[in-house]
Amino acid sequence: MDNKPRSSSLRTGRHTQTGQIYLLTTVTVDRQPVFDDFQAARCLIQCLQQASQLQHADTLAFVVMPDHLHWLMQLGASTDLSRCMAGVKSVSARKLGVSLWQKGFHDHAVRKEEDLPALARYVIANPVRAGLVQRVGQYPHWDAIWL
């Protein structure tokens, strides 16, 4: 059985809309724990901040895990979802000087009835569920506008 990721299938049916809130997940190549390195994680966070400054996205919550990123964001008017994520991935890879990201990403368009603060708590609790820390506040690479 072939267990290779099907990154092209992640794009099937993808529709992006300005102002839509998305929960995005992207993974490092071979799930290498690149972001175990504090400076590498901070570099990625700066790339998320740059996306906001360029009005590509408003970050609502994120957590940088050792081998992946969860990003709850609202898409800005100056780009589409794929370009926004490609920009973050490209800039972070160039700044770190390595082939960093697996192709593709997972996106979930958040529905109006979903509880955004609860979704943000779920995102930032990822390090606790992964056993990296006992409490969210012990993990250094996250933020949420509600907390």
Q: What is the DSSP secondary-structure string of 68-91?
A: EEEEEEEE-TTS-HHHHHHHHHHH
Tally the domains of the chain.
Answer: 1
pTM of the entire predicted model: 0.89
Asked if residue 8 belongs to a domain, the reply is no
pLDDT confidence of residue 1: 43
pLDDT confidence of residue 146: 87
Q: What is the pLDDT of residues 107-125, one digit of tens each?
A: 999 998 899 999 999 999 9
Asked if residue 29 belongs to a domain, the reply is yes
Q: What is the pLDDT of residues 13-71, one digit of tens each?
A: 567 889 999 999 999 999 999 999 999 999 999 999 999 999 999 999 999 999 999 99
Structure tokens at 77: 């008017």
Asked if residue 30 belongs to a domain, the reply is yes
Which CATH number do you get for residue 74?
3.30.70.1290
Count the Cβ atoms, other than its own, within 10 Å of residue 147: 12
Percentage of the chain exceeding pLDDT 70: 90
pLDDT confidence of residue 3: 46
pLDDT confidence of residue 78: 83
Confidence of residue 9 (pLDDT cuts 50, 70, 90): very low
Asked if residue 3 belongs to a domain, the reply is no
pLDDT confidence of residue 109: 95
Asked if residue 81 belongs to a domain, the reply is yes
Q: How buried is 143 (Cβ within 10 angstroms: 0-12 exposed, 13-18 middle, 19+ buried)?
A: middle
Asked if residue 67 belongs to a domain, the reply is yes
